[in-house]
Amino acid sequence: MTAATADAQTPAPGDLTARQWAARHNALLGRGAADDDPRVAECRAALAYWRCRTVIDAERDQLAPADAAALADSLGGGATTMRT
């Protein structure tokens, strides 16, 4: 068995549904992938994206514009605006 690396053709978190990411995660673990496997970490990151997106989508209409900007700033990594 060879060491696994993240595929260069890996989809962005929004390219798959949360259910698809969860299935991928469970399949990797079911096949014995380690917790520190890059593919497992990638699935966990995508699932975190979906948890955040679900909450933001549910609350978007209730969020004041100034608070939306502050929230986007808190995400870091160059995120400065939120889609509406």
- 7 pLDDT band, cuts 50/70/90, is low
> What is the C-alpha separation between 11 and 51, in angstroms, rounded?
17
Listed by start position, the domains of the chain span: 16-75
pLDDT for 68: 87
pLDDT for 19: 98
32-48 pLDDT per residue, tens: 999 999 999 999 999 99
Q: How many CB atoms lie within 10 A of CB 19?
A: 9
pLDDT for 79: 52
- 77 pLDDT band, cuts 50/70/90, is low
